[in-house]
Amino acid sequence: DVVMTQTPPSLSVAIGQSVSISCKSSQSLVASDKNTYLNWLLQSPGRSPKRLIYQVSKLDSGVPDRFSGSGSEKDFTLKISRVEAEDLGVYYCLQGTHLPFTFGSGTKLEIK
């Protein structure tokens, strides 16, 4: 199975600051169709997860452009610019290239 190594496990940031979360895969996530199926999700406290970004850098509808995704092959980053209070929660990366799909272990974002 593809192992997704997500760091850091937690972050504490002030409103307005920027943060980055890393996700590294044990195998290349480039699929046979040349797409890279790396997603980022946010689970806000007490809520079900919500997908923010798919295929490395494509924002889901309604997701603020303060969120951005980048990376390739085995190394991916989620960046949140100008953090807002509503951004708190646990962020997960998810690879959908190889079966079984696998999640990172999560990064808990707290607001100072």
Partner 1 sequence: VQLVESGGGLVQPGKSLKLSCSASGFTFSSYGMHWIRQAPGKGLDWVAYISSSSGTVYADAVKGRFTISRDNAKNTLYLQLNSLKSEDTAIYYCARGDRWGQGVMVTVSS
Q: Which amino acid is at 16?
A: G
What minimum distance in Å lies between the beta carbon of 14 and partner 1?
Answer: 26
Figure out which of the listed residues 32, 33, 85, 100 binds partner 1, where binding follows CB under 8 A.
100
Tokens 């999640």 locate to: 103
Nearest to 8 by CA among 94, 93, 100: 93
Burial per residue of 32-54, b for 16 or more beta-carbon CB atoms within 10 angstroms, e otherwise? eeeebbbbbbbeeeeeeeeebbb
Figure out which of the listed residues 50, 66, 79, 82 binds partner 1, where binding follows CB under 8 A.
50
Q: Is 102 in the site for partner 1 (CB under 8 A)?
A: yes
Q: Is 94 in the site for partner 1 (CB under 8 A)?
A: yes
Q: Which amino acid is at 111?
A: I
Task: Check: CB of residue 83 under 8 Å from CB of residue 107.
Answer: no
Q: Is 106 in the site for partner 1 (CB under 8 A)?
A: yes
What minimum distance in Å lies between the beta carbon of 3 and partner 1?
Answer: 13
What minimum distance in Å lies between the beta carbon of 41 and partner 1?
Answer: 8
Stretch that binds partner 1, among 13-21, 66-74, 76-84, 92-100 (CB under 8 A): 92-100
Nearest to 14 by CA among 95, 92, 64, 84: 84
Interface residues toward partner 1, by CB under 8 A: 1, 41, 43, 48-51, 54, 60, 90, 92, 94, 96, 99-106
